[in-house]
A = this chain, B = another copy of it.
Amino acid sequence: MSTDYLLLSLDNPVFQAYVLTASIMTLKLMLQPWMTVQRMMKVRAGYRSPEDAKRSPLNPEPRPGQLEPNEYVERSRRINLNDLESIPGFLVAGFLLVLVDPPVLLAQVLLWGFVVTRALHFIAYLTAQLHDVRATLWTLNSLSVIVTAGYVLAQAL
């Protein structure tokens, strides 16, 4: 029987955990810019392109300073950059993990551990908790991907 058939089927609990966590994390990755847009629209500031300061339906009353960094908007951009540094690596490492057929519990802990620590990191970042809180959650989150990629590497050697 083809092993791949089992590996990439939703009947495989590791693959199912991957599809769930990967689609949730892809949604997170894609929705963060919507928060940035919502914040830009709310304060009508934090734009980046010169043309965004022109009068238009989205910007009915242009004023000076709209192109300068705005901390309320920048916070969402920093969260987005942090997602970009973390989520694509998770998505690939998690898929490779499925293909090397790991113990189910190990895979579930690594995959869901990433989702939970990323959610907590997001809350800590959004609410401007102390650096130490955010850094601790980031470390746990990053370690889950590093352990995943390290496990895959060890299996392939």
Interfacial residues, chain A to chain B (CB-CB below 8 A): 2-5, 7-10, 16, 19-20, 22-24, 26-27, 29-31, 33-34, 37, 47-52, 54, 56-59, 71, 75, 78, 80, 84-86, 88-89, 91-93, 96, 99-100, 125, 128-132, 134-135, 142, 145-146, 149-150, 152-153, 155-157
Contacts and interface: CB of A to CB of B under 8 A. Distances in A.
Contacts of A51: 128-131
A56 B93 contact: no
Contacts of A142: 30, 33-34
Q: Which of A16, A27, A50, A89 has the most CB of B within 10 A?
A: A89
Contact of A146 (B7, B30, B89, B132): B30
A66 to B, nearest CB: 10
Contacts of A91: 88, 92
A19 B146 contact: no
Contacts of A130: 51, 54, 56
A151 to B, nearest CB: 9
A135 B23 contact: no
A49 B26 contact: no
